Structure 1
Amino acid sequence: MNNDNKNFVLFAVLAALILFGWPYIARTVFPVANPPVTKIEKGKQQPLPNPGADPTADSPAALRDRAQVLAESPRVRINTPTLQGSINLRGARIDDLVLTRYKESIAANSPPIRLLSPSGTRDAYFAGFGWRGVGGFAPPAADTVWQATGTELAPGRPVTLAASNATGQRFAIRIAVDANYMFTVTQTVSNGGGAAVPVAPYSFVNRSGVSKDPDSWTIHTGPMSAHNGGADYDLDFKDLDEAPATYTSKGGWYGFSDKYWLTAAIPDQAADVTAQFRGGANKSYQADYTVAPKSLAPGAALTTTARFFAGAKEVDLLDGYEDTLGITHFGKAIDWGWFEVIMKPIFQYLHWLFGVLGNFGVAIILLTFTVRLIMFPIAQRQFASMASMRAIQPKLKALQERYKDDKPRLQQEMMALYKTEKVNPLAGCAPTLLQIPIFYALYKVLMLTIEMRHQPFVAWIKDLSAPDPLTPVNLFGLLAFTPPAFIAIGVIPILLGISMYFQFKLNPAPMDDVQKQVFALMPWVLMFVMAPFAVGLQVYWITSNVLTILQQQWLYSKHPALKTAPAK
């Protein structure tokens, strides 16, 4: 078998490994898209339930079960433009919370996202506040029923919970909430006893079960904190099953992060705290912190202020809390990663375009136009370099024949030829290399930011962060079967493959036959690889390919050498 055939067989094997092994690699390294939000059945589009939601959440039994638990203790209603729920007066817990702006699915009758549920219900998830019992000091217990000054907590209408103990200490927890997702908790102890007592406030977040969103190399979900001047993405639920993690820090925050939702216990940012994450029985997990004890003399009072966040990870909102409240690295609750310097501007520009146009798909197309416009001068230099490379192909071929048995000498002669002809063989790679971080940043923006969640484009595309649900493999849903994921190629990925095919056709044909075969197959291999990715990412690539084709046509007129066969 000659070298050309060996190279082609090697490429074919690699293409097959990419084609069939990619789904397994993607699931391990990073999620390629959000779950589909619709399904095509008998030619009609039907909304799908959120696979991460409680499967019984909409059933009367589940509602009765939750209602029964909620009715077992007195409560204070929570009513804000973004939150509905209640505070449990037994134990002073915030344990009943839904996010009114976000639904489980795109169905018209979909319930809102439930973030917090009381202990004793499915997926229990709650936060609490209190004081540690140290040195004989006996604060209110977990089953203490607090007295409330009001029946409803709303923006501008705080509620104070009060309790006392047998040794003369009086306790008050004043809870206020803003119009978004931030609770301000002011804890006060008044010492009416005859001796000094050690006072150590604490706060905790407790959840049952791990996050339903996958934790991957590119997107962290699970235990999340900021301490000692940095954001910590290193812990996962498996780590807590093995051993607790403890930190000492000034301020910071500690909680649990899902892809789109966050809970965080936030101490006074100037306070020295000891915090920990730990696992418990039946896959329960807790994040908590405590402030160092302070001696409270008889007749004195001690007040500490903390905060609790429970809501959606909206980019501007988190950044705003970080700036206005001074919460350390609160914006990094979104796992931007290494490319944050590129991702944040892309997100802000996309979000601005969406505000102007009202369609994220159109915003992505205009983003692509902007990127191509910025890179146009680089593309011009790329084409000039390609023209020069094509002109010296006969000389390169002659050198390859002359020094085919002396590879070091061949490399020396080729470098000398490039220097003499003033050609940079790597110049043609610059636009592609520059687009890689932009492409990756857009992927992260589509996957991470809740602003992209459930955003439609046109026709059957109801969620730009999910794969294309329409595939000709089952005749666009007319046949009653769901094809396997690796062959369920949607319409948008097919258009992507076609656009890549025509783009490659416009490129100068390689002189090597094996390279020609490789370039002929590459668009269709990439079509399968990209099929599971978010439609928004594919829209970006298709638009980029179309603009590249138009750009190539124009630049061919400026560099005719690219269209003519090289001299012999």
Structure 2
Amino acid sequence: MNDHRNMILAIVLSAIILFGWGFVTEHYFPTATAPSTKVVEGKQVALPQPGADPSADAPVAIRSREAVLAETPRVAIQTPRLEGSINLTGARIDDLVLTTYRESLAKDSPPIRLLSPSGTSNAYFAGFGWTAQGVAAPAADTVWQASGNRLTPTTPVTLSWDNGQGQRFEIRFSVDDGYMFTADQKVINTGNGAIAARPYALVSRASASQDPDSWTMHVGPVGVFNGAANYDFGYDDIIDEGDQNFTSRGGWLGFTDKYWLTALVADQGSNVDASFRRGPSGSFQTDFAAAPAIVPAGKAVSYQSRFFAGAKEVQLLEKYTDAGVPRLDKAIDWGWFEWFMKPIFSLLNWLYDVIGNFGLAIIGLTLIVRILMFPIAQKQFRSMAGMRVLQPKMKALQDRYKDDKPKLQQEMLKLYQEEKVNPMAGCLPILIQIPIFYALYKVLMLAVEMRHKPFFLWIKDLSAHDPLTPVNLFGYLPFTPPTFLALGVLPIILGITMWLQFKLNPPPMDPVQKQVFALMPWVFMFIMAPFAVGLIIYWITNNILTIAQQKWLYSRHPGALDQPVAKAETK
């Protein structure tokens, strides 16, 4: 009867974990990126990635992008990482694709489009200009004159406009070989009197990001004000609470997607008024304005700002941070454990540079962790062997003091002390693994370097879940099971290796714990199915190494495998 009760209790606890974890991951811990492939009749088929293109034309597009781009004069943008154009109407950077990233794994997949002009579905652009008192300032419909027809890292372009009242406005655009534009804004006053002009810059996007915002991954408005990163506001906060205004000395602000970022960088020596706001049409805008400048007659005033538009590559963000953009690397929300996660990423990225395959790099990372933990594992083994030897004595104590729990705990503690066994020693390797596991989870979720990186065979994207599942007979049945039930091949292997590992451990004395541990490998098989396959590769490799290490240690201490025989008497 007790065995049946224990089994029922174990099943109930497992179900609570299984379904409760699904709720937790949905709201707090996104499991993986959107699947990039699907297995159909045993073959890989690339899936479209609508979330990868925040400005993609939709069936309900206002007008096609091609038509809108053809309506205005433009200056081409061409760099090793970027292609697009500057709109001379309004001096907007509103046409930009990332040439080194593709929307999907399909061979003919187009590059990621980051910016798109006003008038198209999900328009997304940056603009630069002035407000002025008493004189005409350039507006959104102002047509600028360009000094050249192509912007490259070696050929800057200057836009100019004369208001006919004695003032000339200029914007000199330059771009590096990464994702950073520089806008040198200048007002030349040839009029009879002084004028007041205030430079500003803005980024506008027609709708919120399609990437989910969660407790572990911030998506939405982001910035660094007075040296401190701010992740406090999401799109819903702007809708519900209205404009969010800040004053800052220097800093930057913009919008972050999961992998992409647009950020306006103020002159770091000036004070600015910055804001996140909602436009009348429902668009979202972030902007800053510097302090008004008095421009005497015959003089000129300049202001320099920068604009980042591209992928959140870790090393490149760190490079810009070192070059004077305060904490631009904070655009990646590593969280509280950044001090630990970034070294894990750096090691993983270094292994990738050496090996050339991120899956093998993850396996290499696991090997390094296991080597460093080998002394701890030996202590764990000795503790496990000692616990195995003590089981008859522990069982005798449980029988003797089954009605006196405080006395039982006292006698068990005394037994551990006499035999010099620490029952918690086996938990230490697990506790050490938790931050490493979580760091790898964050790397797989946040680092664009992991996006669409293949392993071998059917694993084409280590940041997505395993697409190959026997639930639909590996794609031969014409349906796609929900992620929760789509048990991939690797999650199944994870369950098997976890079961084998548990078989080598001494069984718990408590019958409920024993039943829970018996079910745990299969519960985790379901829990881990939606997670990034790179994370599962790490866990499987760790399990296999643990099994091999235990086998080796048992070969050196064969007596530890012997089942102890209970004595007839105990003290």
Q: Deviations over 1:47-100 (max 9, x none)?
A: 111131569958999798212211222111111111111111111110010111
Query: What residue number does 2:391 align with?
Result: 393
Distance 1:229 1:54 in 2: 31
Matched letter for residue 211 of structure 1: S
Q: 289-298 or 118-127, which moves further after superposition?
A: 289-298
1:497–1:524: 8 Å Cα contact kept in structure 2? Answer: yes
Of 177, 180, 183 in structure 2, the residue corresponding to residue 179 of structure 1 is 177
Aligned equivalents of 2:427, 2:108: Cα separation in 1 = 50
2:247 maps to which residue?
A: 248
Match for residue 19 of structure 1? 18
Structure 1: how far apart are the matches of 2:504 and 2:106?
44
- The 8 Å contact of residues 49 and 104 in structure 1, kept in 2 or not, is answered as yes
- Cα-to-partner distance string for 1:504-548 (whole Å, 9 max, x where unaligned): 111122334433322221111110100011111111111100000
Q: 1:100 to 1:566 in 2, by over 3 A?
A: same
- Are 2:268 and 1:269 equivalent residues in the alignment? yes
Cα distance 1:381–1:432, how it changes in 2: closer, same or farther (>3 A)?
A: same
Mapped pair 1:34 → 2:33: yes
DSSP 3-state at the match of 2:369 = helix
Matches within 5 A, 1:483-502: 483-502=481-500
- 1:450 pairs with one of 448, 451, 466: 448
Q: In structure 1, how many angstroms separate the alpha carbons of the residues matched to 2:328 and 2:491?
A: 37
Task: Tell me the secondary structure at the aligned position of residue 136 of structure 2.
Answer: coil
Given that residues 391 and 561 in structure 1 are in contact (C-alpha distance below 8 angstroms), is that contact kept between their aligned partners in structure 2? no
- Cα deviation 1:273-330 (Å, max 9, x = unaligned): 1110011234310010111112222222111111000001111000000002x11110
- Match of 1:142, SS? coil
Residue 352 of structure 2 corresponds to residue 384 of structure 1: no
The alignment partner of 2:201 has SS state of: strand
Change (3 A) 1:516 1:261: same
Greater shift, 68-77 or 252-261, is seen at: 68-77
Segment of structure 1 superposing worse, 481-490 or 555-564: 555-564
CA–CA distance in structure 1, aligned partners of residues 482 and 290 of structure 2: 54
Instruction: Give SS of 2:395's match.
Output: helix
TM-superposed CA distance for 1:113, in Å, is: 0.5
1:386 is displaced (CA, Å) by 1.7
Query: Which structure 1 residue ranges, 5 or more long, are not aligned?
Result: none
Distance 2:562 2:316 in 1: 56
3-state SS of the aligned residue for 2:275? strand
556-565 or 86-95: bigger deviation: 556-565
The answer on 1:201 being equivalent to 2:234 is no
Distance 2:412 2:267 in 1: 65
Most deviating of 344-353 and 398-407: 398-407
Match of 2:421 in 1: 423
Deviates more, 1:480-489 or 1:83-92: 480-489
Partner of 2:50: 51
Q: Which residue of 2 aligns with 1:478?
A: 476
Q: How do 1:407-418 and structure 2 match up within 5 A?
A: 407-418=405-416
1:335 & 1:457 partners in 2: Cα distance? Answer: 26
Measured against aligned partners, the alpha-carbon deviations of 1:95-124 in whole angstroms (never above 9, x if no partner) come to: 010111111001011111000000110110
Give the AA of the match of 1:355: D
1:128 aligns with: 127
Is 268-277 or 62-71 further displaced after alignment? Answer: 62-71
Q: Read off the aligned partner of 1:149 and give its amino acid letter.
A: S
State the one-letter code of the partner of 1:289.
F
Q: Which residue does 2:569 correspond to in 1?
A: none
Query: For the aligned residues, what is the CA RMSD?
Result: 2.0
CA distance in 2 between partners of 1:309 and 1:420 (Å)? 65
| d(CA) in 2 for partners of 1:360, 1:375 | 22
Distance, in Å, in 1 between the alignment partners of 2:62 and 2:101 is 19
In structure 2, relative to structure 1, the CA distance for the partners of 1:127 and 1:361 (3 Å cut) is: same
Within a 5 Å distance, the mapping from 1:362-381 to structure 2 comes to 362-381=360-379
Amino acid at match of 2:144: W
CA distance in 1 between partners of 2:47 and 2:426 (Å) = 45
Q: 2:355 aligns with which of 354, 357, 369?
A: 357
- Aligned residue identity for 1:434: I
Aligned to 2:157: 159
1-side partners of 2:45 and 2:408: how far apart? 62
Shift of 1:21: 4.4
Deviation readout 1:186-243 (Å, 9 max, x if unpaired): 0111122222222221111000111111111111111111112211111100011121
Partner-residue secondary structure (3-state), 1:427? coil
Distance across 1 between alignment mates of 2:4 and 2:58: 62
Structure 1 residues 274-283 or 256-265, which shifts more?
Answer: 274-283
Q: Is the 8 A contact 1:5 1:514 kept in 2?
A: no
Letter in 2 for 1:365: I
Q: Is the 8 Å Cα contact of residues 39 and 48 (structure 1) preserved in structure 2?
A: yes
SS at 1:52's partner residue? Answer: helix
Instruction: Please report the TM-score for the alignment, with normalisation by the length of structure 1.
Output: 0.95
> Unpaired runs of 5+ in structure 2?
567-571
**TM-score, normalised on structure 2?**
0.95
Classify the secondary structure of the residue corresponding to 2:181: strand
Question: Does the 8 Å CA contact 1:20/1:486 hold for their aligned counterparts?
Answer: no
Out of 532, 535, 544, which is 1:534 matched to? Answer: 532
Separation (CA, whole Å) in 1 of partners of 2:252 and 2:524: 42
Change (3 A) 1:79 1:60: farther
Equivalent residue in structure 2 for 1:234, among 232, 235, 242: 232
The alpha carbon displacement at 1:410 in A equals 3.0
Q: Does the Cα contact within 8 Å between 1:222 and 1:256 map onto a contact in 2?
A: yes
Are the counterparts in 1 of residues 55 and 121 from structure 2 also a CA contact under 8 Å? Answer: no
Amino acid at match of 2:239: D
- SS of equivalent to 1:45: strand
Q: Any idea what SS the aligned residue of 1:381 has?
A: helix
Q: Secondary structure, in 3 states, of the residue corresponding to 1:533?
A: coil
- Of stretches 520-529 and 343-352 in structure 1, the one that deviates more from structure 2 is 343-352
2:186 counterpart (157, 171, 188): 188
Partner in structure 2 of residue 459 of structure 1: 457
Moved more, 315-324 or 419-428: 419-428
2:131 pairs with 1:96: no
Letter in 2 for 1:565: Q
Aligned to 1:404, the other structure's residue is in SS state coil
Q: How do residues 342-353 of structure 1 correspond to structure 2 at under 5 angstroms?
A: 342-353=340-351
Deviates more, 1:351-360 or 1:429-438: 351-360
- TM-superposed CA distance for 1:399, in Å, is 3.2
| Partner SS, residue 437 of structure 2 | helix
Partner of 1:404: 402
In the alignment, what sits opposite 2:7? Answer: 8
Letter of the structure 1 residue corresponding to residue 85 of structure 2: S
Change (3 A) 1:56 1:343: closer
Aligned residues: 565
Counterpart of 2:108? 109
Deviation at 1:564, TM superposition (A): 1.9
Q: Aligned-pair distance for 1:428?
A: 1.1
My pick for the range that moved more, 256-265 or 160-169, is: 160-169
1:137 Cα deviation after fit: 4.5
CA shift digits 1:458-498 (9 cap, x unpaired) = 11111011111111111111122222322211111111111
For residues 258-337 of structure 1, the aligned pairs below 5 Å read: 258-324=257-323, 326-337=324-335
Question: Which stretch shifts more, 217-226 or 351-360?
Answer: 351-360
For the 8 Å contact 1:57–1:63, the answer to whether it is kept is no
Q: Does 1:216 align with 2:214?
A: yes
Cα drift, residue 127 of structure 1: 0.3
Are residues 1:564 and 2:557 paired? no
| Matched residue SS, 1:231 | strand
